[in-house]
Structure 1
Amino acid sequence: MTHVDLGVKQIAAEFLFVLCKERVDSLLKYTGYGNAAGLLAARGLLAGGRGEHWYSDDEDTDTEEYKSAKPNINLITGHLEEPMPNPMDEMTEEQKEYEAMKLVNMFDKLSRYCSTVQYNVTVLLMEAAYILVLCSLLKSTASNCAIINSAELEPRSLWRRMFDTSK
Structure 2
Amino acid sequence: MGRNIDDIIDSLPQARRARIHAGAEKMAEEMLRGADSLAAIRRVAGLTQTELGDLMGINQNAVSQMEKRTEVFISTVANVAVALGYELELAFRKPDGDRVPLPKFQPWQDVSVPAVATRQGKAIARKQALPARRSAKLERAPAAASAPGQLRDGARSRKKASR
- TM-score when normalising by structure 2: 0.25
- TM-score when normalising by structure 1: 0.24
